[in-house]
Copies of this chain bind each other. A is one copy, B any other.
Amino acid sequence: MIAEILCVGTELLMGQVLNTNAQFLSRRLSALGVSQYHQTVVGDNAERLEEAYRTALSRSDVIITTGGLGPTVDDITKRVAAKVAGKPLVVRPEAEAMVRERFAQYHREMTLNNVSQAMFTEDTQLLLNPNGTAPGAIVPMGEGKVVIHLPGPPSEMRPMFVDQVEPWLRARSGCVLVSRYIRIFGMGESMVDDRLRDLELGGNPTLSPYCSTGEVMLRATASAGTAAKAEALLEPVVREVCTRLGDVVYAVEEDDTGSLARSAVEALKRRGWTVATCESLTGGLIASTMVEVPGASEVVRGGLVTYQSVAKTMLAGVPADMIEKYNVVSAEVAAAMATGVRERLDVDIAVSATGLAGPGGGTEEIPVGTVFLGIATRGGVRTIPLHLSGSRARIRELSMKHALDAVRRTVDKE
């Protein structure tokens, strides 16, 4: 089965909206084992959209559209697909009921033009939209091919795809795919690739790397006739990957929603420890990233943002003459920051970060990218020097990730 993503909307051509839908869909399709060779964006123009449909249908089996299902004259995605299918759009009573229900729920009046959201060809399979007014649709286009219409807003598109389209695709593919998501921090993509190259040759399970700042996520996907058989193929490969990569693997999960912050918060919960932060160059980013995790309030007590030197003294009790003597970017100050906040909030573990994010201010002795982390527990304090590079934003983000990784490792091992 070959699929192809066709995003419709002039706002995409103008760069007014970042096309996260294409990435979301291609990632999910890839995990389902569905091949894709093209992605296309066209504006709200009937002639160009018709041509895009015909081109896509000539080379793919499933065309997934996003956007253009609303009630305005610009919303032409369904109308043009129906024209290409050679069938008229009619008001489908089940669809009209869906739209009416959503308007009632939002306490909004359903004006006449909104009836267009309930218009589909007679043979269209409707998709419920629990998060918006426009239903989605699976439209037969002849020769076993279909166009699948999804709404443009990601909050409507994503659950519709996961809950309704994925089961439909899975039922048609005839085989079961099972995936594991292996999360890695502290080893670059090329090194990961080097260590695993021979494992990637087999083809089942497949191993696909997904990179983000300082991190690699490996998706391992096995395909078989049953879930149990797929699991059996998957398990030894996942175990081998973990053995070869060692403790840079911080999580192995059944979905791709994990993060260093979640792993750190989960490690703290398992251990029953509380945590606090004392942040200079990260300025609250470490604490804020942990707080992103629902339920973090069980373990994250709080922290200090000690951005100016004077704040390090006023809030964390770092002696002014220590800052003078060793420099504010030093292991000594990082240790004092961590110890200071640990005592003030009476927590089991505290992490601190001081460093130079740039762009200005670097010297030969302390270049931009020099960072010291401090880790204080009830047993003592240690420091970690980092030598990072890149933009101010990257240096701050990498410092945050190293800090979360240090918390996770310390909680798990100490």
Residues of A participating in the B interface, judged by any CB pair closer than 8 Å: 12-20, 22-30, 36-43, 45, 48, 52, 55, 155, 208-211, 276-277, 279, 281-288, 290-292, 294, 296-297, 300-308, 310-312, 314-315, 344-346, 358-360, 391-393, 396
Contact = CB atoms under 8 A, between A and B. Distances in A.
Contacts of A208: 14, 16
B38 A41 contact: yes
A43 B5 CA distance: 13
A23 to B, nearest CB: 5
Contacts of A392: 292, 294
A297 B308 contact: yes
Pick the 6 closest A-B CB pairs, nearest first: A284-B284, A15-B27, A283-B291, A302-B311, A15-B26, A284-B287
Contacts of A23: 12, 15, 17-19
A376 B369 CA distance: 35
A305 B308 contact: no
B308 A300 contact: yes
Nearest to A302: B311
A264 to B, nearest CB: 14
B283 A290 contact: yes
A72 B302 CA distance: 48
Given A40-B39, A211-B16, A307-B296, A288 B282 contact: yes
A310 B347 CA distance: 11
A38 B42 contact: yes
A306 B287 CA distance: 10
B283 A288 contact: yes
Given A292-B396, A308-B302, A277 B284 contact: yes
Give the most central of A18, A211, A392: most B CB within 10 Å.
A18
Instruction: Specify which of A15, A296, A359 lies most central, judged by the most chain B CB atoms within 10 Å of its CB.
Output: A15
Contacts of A14: 26-27, 30, 36, 208
A277 B305 contact: yes
A28 B40 contact: no
Contacts of A291: 281-285, 305, 307, 396
B301 A302 contact: no
Contacts of A24: 15
Given A13-B36, A37-B43, 11 more contacts: A15-B27, A15-B30, A16-B210, A283-B292, A285-B288, A287-B305, A288-B305, A292-B396, A294-B360, A302-B315, A305-B305
Contact of A315 (B36, B282, B344): B344
A180 to B, nearest CB: 16
B19 A22 contact: yes
Given A41-B22, A41-B39, A285-B288, A304 B302 contact: yes
Contacts of A37: 13, 42-43, 45, 48
A12 B41 contact: no
Contact of A294 (B209, B297, B306, B359): B359
A311 to B, nearest CB: 3
Nearest to A13: B36
Nearest to A312: B302
Nearest to A36: B13
A286 B291 CA distance: 13
B287 A300 contact: no
26 contacts: A13-B30, A14-B208, A15-B22, A15-B23, A15-B27, A16-B208, A16-B211, A18-B18, A19-B19, A38-B40, A38-B42, A276-B311, A282-B288, A283-B292, A284-B286, A284-B303, A285-B291, A287-B305, A296-B307, A297-B307, A302-B307, A302-B311, A304-B315, A305-B305, A314-B345, A314-B346
Contacts of A48: 37-38
